[in-house]
Amino acid sequence: MSLKSALALTSLGLALGSCAMISAPSAQNRSKAKNYFNAGLGFFTDGNYPESLQAFEEAAFLSPNDPDIEMHRALALFNVGREEASIELMQKTCRLREEFPECHNNVAYLTLKRGRYEESLAAADKALASPTYSSPDLARMNRGLALHALGRYRDAVDSFTKVQERASLQLRCRNELYLSRSHLALANFAEAVRYARVGRELCENEARGHLWMGYIEYRVGEIGRARDTYTEIIRTFRDPEVRDEARVSLNRLNREEVLSEPKLFL
């Protein structure tokens, strides 16, 4: 999942809660900080991360220790390549509110991206422990990813399975594919195929779901179907990187070579 998606799935309308500030900003500074913050959100959504970071830093200067500003400043830092600084700031930000599950889940995501799986799992658990969290399915998926990376495949399956059907389409699409991958690691081939098909249907326009389906078909010995899947990807998708990946897999199938597991989203 991209950080743009993570931001979209994080509540952007959090009410400014009470927190320990060095000094309370004036009404004028709060108003200016809000304007910079909103500008930062706009830049972030457009993928202009340097401008986004600059706007969030201006907002943070005017309104120090504001949890929402600091959380989004940390996300912008990650996107400009300052990943360790981003994680450090996000962890600090989580302490600014007694209940801040969105922040803990962002820590789970950022540390997951850096391969710090134990930290990611602990942060996801903190997010899920909060009764105020409005997006627990996102934390359940991140928790499952950390567990899978740690080789705890059965626990990962349990976490992915708890994601609700009312979750967003994008989240469900990815979650089902991750669930398929964990079942494959357990040699539960029927379940791996089942969830790969569900994920592909939910991710109809997402190439990763189709590439994963082709790989699953190959793993369970349905070579003809795998060939058809890769051929359809080459015919349908315009992304040259995706088409090249499908061509490589198809050529390896034709030469009866071993296929590598394709990367999913994270």
253: in domain: yes
229: in domain: yes
Domain harbouring 205, CATH code? 1.25.40.10
In the predicted structure, residue 229 carries a pLDDT above the cut 80: yes
203: in domain: yes
199: in domain: yes
Please give the torsion angle defined by the CA atoms of residues 159, 162, 163 and 164, in that order, rounded to the nearest 10 degrees: 180
193: in domain: yes
Please give the model's pTM, rounded to 2 decimal places: 0.85
**In this structure, what DSSP letter does residue 100 have?**
-
Q: How many domains does the chain have?
A: 1
3-class secondary structure, 4: helix
Query: How buried is 12 (Cβ within 10 angstroms: 0-12 exposed, 13-18 middle, 19+ buried)?
Result: middle
- Quick: pLDDT tens for 156-202: 999 999 998 888 999 999 999 999 999 999 999 999 999 999 999 99
- Quick: pLDDT tens for 37-80: 999 999 999 999 999 999 999 999 999 999 999 999 999 999 99
Range of the domain at 256: 168-266
Q: Which of 69, 48, 114 is nearest to 87 (CA)?
A: 114
243: in domain: yes
50: in domain: no
Q: How far is 107 from 110, CA to CA, in rounded Å?
A: 5
- How confident is the model at residue 223, as a pLDDT? 96
61: in domain: no
- How confident is the model at residue 23, as a pLDDT? 53
- Quick: pLDDT tens for 73-82: 999 999 999 9
Which pLDDT band holds residue 26 (cuts at 50, 70, 90)? confident
